[in-house]
C-alpha cells in the first residue's frame, strides 16, 4: 500500500470508529471526530512527542481535547496508537488504556470511553474536559508548568523539560469567557510552548454560529499577543503539517491555528448541520458516509491491516526513542545534580520532601489574636521554603489575601522569569482555577486565592479539581459578614454550604491561627483531593491550647475543644471559624451558671464524616439533643448536626453594610445570644428527660 494510501486509510479508520461507536451507543457527537480526523492523524503521527508505552513520561507533549464532546476522536487515537494504561502509582499496568471493546462500549457503564474524557479514569487523557473552555484554559497551566520546570530543573546540556502543549477547541470553547481569560494571560506570559488548534466549523448545538458569534477570532487573538496561522482546508495534510511545524519557529508567543472544516466531513446529508454535531448519524447516513470513504458499508469497528503498524512506526517509534533518550539524560543528570533529581522525582510522584513541615509555626495564646489570612500567610511561607514546587498567587488580591511568598528566592513569574513562584492571575478567577488544574496535572503543587464570595467565579475549575482528584489548594479570604462595610455584594453567605456539597472537596474553616496551621498540615499531605481554606479578614483570638484541646484535632474534621470529654454535657455548642471563640466565651459563662457546655470546633465537615462512627459519636453523642450550631453563613446543612430540636445561629438572608460589631449584634453572633439559646436548649432537654 502506498504511503499516501495508508495515511488516508488511517484517517478513515479514526472516522469510522467514531461513527460506529456513536451509532452503537445511540448517543454522542460524530461530526467533529469525522471532520478533525486528518488533524488528529497529522498531529499524533507527525508532530507529537509522546510515547504510547509510557503516557506519563514527564517531558511528553500534552494533547488536550477541549471540545470534549468529540471524545471519540481521542479514544480512537488512544486505541490506534496502542497507549498503555498506568496505575495510580504512575506504574505501567501492562494492558491497553483503551481497547476495541471499550470503544464498542462507548458511553456505557465502566467503559474506559465515557461520554467526555476523564483524567485518571483513562490513561492518555491529560485532563477532564466537557465543560467548554475548561480544556484550553487548563492547557495554559500545563504550558506555564513546562516553562517553570525548565527554569527550575534544566541545566546546560540537560534539557529535561521542553515539551509543548496542544489543545484542540471549537467555537463553543472560544465563546466561553474562561478561554478569553486564559488566552489573555497566556499572551501576556508569551507562552511559546502553547498551541491551540481551533476547529473553525461555524456550528454549535443550536445551529450556525451566525446566531450569536460573528467576531473576528484571529484579530481577537492577535490582540491577546498570539501568533495566528490559518489552514483553509482541514483535509489537507500538507497544510496541517506546515502549520504545526511553522508554530515551532515562533519563540515569543503562543499560537492559534485556525482550521477551516465542515462538521461531519463525508456525511452527505448532515455534514453542514448541527445534527451531525450532536447526535448519531443514523444507520442510513452512517452507511452513506462509509461509502463516501470507500469503506465497507456493513463493516463495524473495522481496523484494517497495517493501520496499527503504521502508527507504531510513527508516533510509537518516535516517542519511544525520545523517551529513552530522556531516561538516559536523566540518569546522567542524577549523578551530576542529585539534589535536583530527587526534587524532580518527589514532585512527579506527589511526594513531600523530608522536613517539609519543620518550620510551621506554633502560635502563642493571644486574646487579640490574628486574622486567618495573616496566620495562613505565615504558614504558607514556612512550608513553601521547604517545598520548592509549591507555587501560586491571587486573582489580583495578593495584598488582601496574604498569599505572597515573601522570601527573596521565590520571585515573580513573568515573561522574563518563567521560574518565579509568585503568580499574578489578574482579575480572572475562572481562568485562575483552570490554570491551577493545569499546574497540578503537571505535578506542581499550586494554590490560588481570592475573596470567598468570588469563589462563585472559580467554581467550574474547583469542581473539576474534585472530579479529577488532584490536590489543588484554594485560599478564600474575607470569609463572612465580617467584611462589614463592604456589604452584601462582598459578604459570602451561601458559598460555604455550596462548596461543602461538592464531592471530594475538603473545605476548611479554621477557628484560630493554630487551626490554620493544622489545616495546612493536613491538606499538604493529601495527594488526591483538592482543598479549600476559608479564612477570616478580622482577627480571631488565638486560643490557649494548654487550657483547651490541641489544634491537631483538625485532622479529624471536628473535635472537642472545651468541656469534659468524659462526661455528658448539658448542651453542645458547635462552630467554625471566627465563631469558635464566641462559643468559647459562651461556654465559660454557661459553666459559671452550672450548665455543663461542650464546645466542638468543626473546621471540616468532610473530614469529620470520614471518621469512624465511634469517634463521631464521642464528639456528638447521639443522645445529647441540646445543640447549638453557630456559623456566619447559610444555615443549610447544619440540620444534620443539630437534629430536629437543636438550634442554628446562622444567616437566613444576605448581609448588610455596617461595621462588624454592629453586624454581629444585628444577626445574633454574640456570646449573649449563644448563651440565651444554649440555656433554652439545656432547659428543654432537661424537660424532655423528666
Which secondary structure element, helix H or strand E, spans residue 92, and what is its range?
strand 92-96
pLDDT confidence of residue 554: 98
Half-sphere exposure of 460 (CA within 13 A, CB side): 22
Mean per-residue pLDDT of the chain: 94
Long-range contacts of 457-461 (CB under 8 A, 24+ apart): 457/429, 457/430, 458/395, 458/429, 458/430, 458/432, 458/433, 459/433, 459/498, 460/131, 460/134, 460/178, 460/430, 460/433, 460/434, 461/134, 461/137, 461/178, 461/430, 461/432, 461/433, 461/434, 461/436, 461/437
pLDDT confidence of residue 4: 61
Residue matched to cell numbers 458516509: 289
Model confidence pLDDT, tens digit, residues 407-453? 999 999 999 999 999 999 999 999 999 999 999 999 999 999 999 99
506: nearest Cα among 525, 539, 533: 533
pLDDT, mean of residues 287-309: 95
Model confidence pLDDT, tens digit, residues 617-671? 999 999 999 999 999 999 999 999 999 999 999 999 999 999 999 999 999 999 9
183: left (phi over 0), alpha (psi -120 to 50) or beta: alpha
Q: What residues have CB less than 8 Å from 317, skipping those under 6 apart?
A: none
Q: Residue 214 — very low, low, confident or very high, per pLDDT cuts 50/70/90?
A: confident
pLDDT confidence of residue 34: 95
pLDDT, mean of residues 341-352: 97
Q: Domain segments of the chain: what residues?
A: 3-323, 366-541, 563-689
pLDDT confidence of residue 279: 76
Residue matched to cell numbers 451507543: 25
Q: Rounded to 5 degrees, what angle do the CA atoms 633, 608, 527 make?
A: 100
Q: Under a CB-based contact definition with an 8 Å cutoff, are residues 160 and 83 in contact?
A: no
Q: How far apart, in whole angstroms, are the C-alpha atoms of residue 84 and residue 400?
A: 46
Q: How far apart, in whole angstroms, are the C-alpha atoms of residue 138 and residue 437?
A: 6
Alpha-carbon torsion (559, 454, 396, 170), positive or negative: positive
Alpha-carbon torsion (261, 267, 273, 279), positive or negative: negative
CATH number of the structural domain 563-689: 3.40.50.920
Which secondary structure element, helix H or strand E, spans residue 316, and what is its range?
none
Q: Under a CB-based contact definition with an 8 Å cutoff, are residues 240 and 259 in contact?
A: yes
604: nearest Cα among 542, 531, 669: 531
3-state secondary structure of 156: coil
Q: What are phi and psi for residue 93, nearest 5 degrees?
A: -85, -15
94: left (phi over 0), alpha (psi -120 to 50) or beta: left
Percent of the chain past pLDDT 90, that is, above it, reads: 91
pLDDT confidence of residue 276: 47
Give CA 117 to chain center in angstroms: 14
Q: How far apart, in whole angstroms, are the C-alpha atoms of residue 532 and residue 372?
A: 13
- Gap between the terminal Cα atoms of the chain: 93
What is the DSSP secondary structure assignment for residue 60, as one 8-state letter? P
Q: Residue 274 — very low, low, confident or very high, per pLDDT cuts 50/70/90?
A: very low
CATH domain 366-541 topology: Rossmann fold (3.40.50)
Distances (CA, A) of 233 to 169, 675, 676: 16, 74, 75
Model confidence pLDDT, tens digit, residues 162-171? 999 999 999 9
pLDDT confidence of residue 690: 52
> What does DSSP say about strands 559-562 and 597-601: parallel, antiparallel, or unpaired?
antiparallel
pLDDT at 341 over 70: yes
pLDDT, mean of residues 341-353: 97
pLDDT at 349 over 70: yes
pLDDT confidence of residue 92: 66
Q: How far apart, in whole angstroms, are the C-alpha atoms of residue 585 and residue 673?
A: 11
List, in sequence order, every residue forming a beta bridge with 165; answer none if it has no partner.
Answer: 62, 194
Catalytic residue list contains 429: yes
Q: What are phi and psi for residue 263, nearest 5 degrees?
A: -60, 130
Worst-scoring range by mean pLDDT, 29-33, 414-418, 518-522?
Answer: 29-33
pLDDT confidence of residue 3: 57
Helix, strand, coil percentages in the chain from 3-state DSSP, rounded to 5: 45, 15, 40
Q: Under a CB-based contact definition with an 8 Å cutoff, are residues 434 and 182 in contact?
A: yes
What is the DSSP secondary structure assignment for residue 158, as one 8-state letter? B
Q: Which cell numbers hold the place of 319?
A: 516517542
Q: Under a CB-based contact definition with an 8 Å cutoff, are residues 219 and 189 in contact?
A: no
List, in sequence order, every residue forming a beta bridge with 477; answer none if it has no partner.
Answer: 451
Q: Under a CB-based contact definition with an 8 Å cutoff, are residues 597 and 590 in contact?
A: yes
Q: Does domain 3-323 have CATH number 3.40.50.970?
A: yes
- Other CB atoms within 10 Å distance of the CB of residue 309: 11
Q: What is the DSSP string of 358-415?
A: TT---PPPEEEEEEHHHHHHHHHHHHHTT-TTEEEEESS-HHHHT----SGGG-B-BT
List, in sequence order, every residue forming a beta bridge with 447; answer none if it has no partner.
Answer: 392, 473
pLDDT at 207 over 80: no
Q: How far apart, in whole angstroms, are the C-alpha atoms of residue 284 and residue 277?
A: 17
Say yes or no: do domains 366-541 and 563-689 share a fold. yes
* pTM: predicted TM-score of the whole model, two decimal places: 0.96
pLDDT at 269 over 60: no
pLDDT confidence of residue 275: 44
Q: What is the DSSP string of 147-186?
A: HHHHHHH-BTTB------EEEEE-HHHHHSHHHHHHHHHH
Residue matched to cell numbers 450548665: 595
663: nearest Cα among 632, 638, 622: 632
pLDDT at 266 over 60: no
Give CA 601 to chain center in angstroms: 28
pLDDT, mean of residues 13-28: 95
Strand order in the sheet with 559-562: 559-562, 597-601, 571-575, 627-634, 647-651
- Which among 429, 515, 518, 606 is annotated as catalytic? 429
Amino acid at each position: 500500500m502506498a504511503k499516501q494510501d495508508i495515511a488516508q486509510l488511517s484517517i478513515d479508520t479514526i472516522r469510522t470508529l467514531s461513527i460506529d461507536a456513536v451509532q452503537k451507543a445511540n448517543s454522542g457527537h460524530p461530526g467533529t471526530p469525522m471532520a478533525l480526523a486528518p488533524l488528529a492523524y497529522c498531529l499524533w503521527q507527525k508532530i507529537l512527542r509522546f510515547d504510547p508505552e509510557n503516557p506519563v513520561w514527564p517531558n511528553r507533549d500534552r494533547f488536550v481535547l477541549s471540545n470534549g464532546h468529540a471524545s471519540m476522536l481521542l479514544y480512537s487515537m488512544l486505541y490506534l496508537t496502542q497507549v498503555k494504561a498506568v496505575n495510580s502509582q504512575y506504574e505501567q499496568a501492562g494492558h491497553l488504556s483503551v481497547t476495541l471493546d471499550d470503544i464498542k462500549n462507548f458511553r456505557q457503564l465502566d467503559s474506559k470511553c465515557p461520554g467526555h474524557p476523564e483524567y485518571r479514569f483513562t490513561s492518555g487523557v491529560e485532563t477532564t474536559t466537557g465543560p467548554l473552555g475548561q480544556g484550553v484554559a487548563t492547557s495554559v497551566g500545563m504550558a506555564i508548568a513546562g516553562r517553570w520546570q525548565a527554569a527550575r530543573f534544566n541545566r546546560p546540556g540537560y534539557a529535561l523539560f521542553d515539551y509543548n502543549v496542544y489543545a484542540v477547541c471549537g467555537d463553543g470553547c472560544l465563546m466561553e469567557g474562561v478561554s478569553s481569560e486564559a488566552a489573555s494571560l497566556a499572551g501576556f506570559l508569551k507562552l511559546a510552548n502553547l498551541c491551540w488548534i481551533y476547529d473553525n466549523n461555524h456550528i454549535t448545538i443550536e445551529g450556525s454560529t451566525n446566531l450569536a458569534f460573528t467576531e473576528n477570532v484571529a484579530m481577537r487573538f492577535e490582540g491577546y499577543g498570539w501568533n495566528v496561522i490559518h489552514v483553509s482546508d482541514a483535509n489537507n495534510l500538507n497544510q496541517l503539517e506546515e502549520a504545526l511545524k511553522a508554530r515551532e519557529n515562533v519563540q515569543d508567543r503562543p499560537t492559534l491555528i485556525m482550521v477551516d472544516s465542515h462538521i461531519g466531513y463525508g456525511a452527505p446529508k448532515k455534514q453542514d448541520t448541527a445534527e451531525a454535531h450532536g447526535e448519531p448519524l443514523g444507520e442510513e447516513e452512517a452507511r452513506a458516509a462509509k461509502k463516501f470513504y470507500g469503506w465497507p458499508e456493513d463493516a463495524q469497528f473495522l481496523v484494517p491491516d497495517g493501520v496499527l503498524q503504521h502508527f507504531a512506526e510513527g508516533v510509537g517509534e518516535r516517542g519511544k526513542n525520545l523517551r529513552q533518550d530522556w531516561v538516559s539524560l536523566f540518569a546522567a543528570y542524577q549523578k551530576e545534580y542529585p539534589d535536583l533529581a530527587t526534587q524532580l522525582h518527589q514532585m512527579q510522584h506527589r511526594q513531600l520532601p523530608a522536613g517539609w513541615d519543620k518550620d510551621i509555626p506554633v502560635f502563642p495564646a493571644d486574646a487579640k489574636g490574628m486574622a486567618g489570612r495573616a496566620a495562613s500567610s505565615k504558614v504558607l511561607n514556612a512550608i513553601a521554603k521547604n517545598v520548592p514546587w509549591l507555587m501560586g498567587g491571587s486573582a489580583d488580591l495578593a495584598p488582601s489575601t496574604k498569599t505572597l511568598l515573601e522570601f527573596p528566592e521565590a520571585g515573580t513569574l513573568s515573561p522574563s522569569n518563567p521560574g518565579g513562584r509568585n503568580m499574578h492571575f489578574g482579575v480572572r478567577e475562572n481562568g485562575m482555577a483552570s490554570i491551577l488544574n493545569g499546574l497540578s496535572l503537571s505535578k506542581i503543587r499550586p494554590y490560588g486565592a481570592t475573596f470567598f464570595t468570588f469563589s462563585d467565579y472559580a467554581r467550574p475549575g474547583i469542581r473539576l479539581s474534585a472530579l479529577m482528584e488532584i490536590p489543588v489548594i484554594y485560599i478564600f479570604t474575607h470569609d463572612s459578614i465580617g467584611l462589614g462595610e463592604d456589604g452584601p455584594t462582598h459578604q459570602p453567605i451561601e458559598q460555604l454550604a455550596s462548596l461543602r456539597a461538592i464531592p471530594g472537596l475538603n473545605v476548611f474553616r479554621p477557628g484560630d491561627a493554630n487551626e490554620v496551621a493544622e489545616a495546612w498540615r493536613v491538606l499538604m499531605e493529601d495527594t488526591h483531593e483538592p482543598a479549600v481554606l476559608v479564612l477570616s479578614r478580622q482577627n480571631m483570638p488565638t486560643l490557649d491550647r494548654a487550657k483547651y484541646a490541641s489544634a491537631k484535632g483538625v485532622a479529624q474534621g471536628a473535635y472537642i475543644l472545651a468541656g469534659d470529654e468524659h462526661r455528658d454535657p448539658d448542651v453542645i455548642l458547635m462552630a467554625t471559624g471566627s465563631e469558635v471563640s464566641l462559643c468559647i466565651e459562651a461556654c465559660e459563662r454557661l459553666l459559671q451558671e452550672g450548665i455543663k457546655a461542650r464546645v466542638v470546633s468543626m473546621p471540616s465537615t468532610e473530614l469529620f464524616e470520614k471518621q469512624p462512627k465511634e469517634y463521631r459519636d464521642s464528639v456528638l453523642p447521639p443522645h445529647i439533643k441540646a445543640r447549638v450550631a453557630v456559623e456566619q453563613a447559610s444555615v443549610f446543612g447544619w440540620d444534620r448536626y443539630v437534629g430536629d430540636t437543636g438550634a442554628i445561629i446562622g444567616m437566613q438572608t444576605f448581609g448588610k453594610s455596617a461595621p462588624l460589631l454592629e453586624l454581629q449584634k444585628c444577626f445574633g453572633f454574640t456570646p449573649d445570644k449563644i448563651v440565651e439559646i444554649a440555656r433554652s436548649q439545656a432547659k428543654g432537654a432537661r424537660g424532655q428527660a423528666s
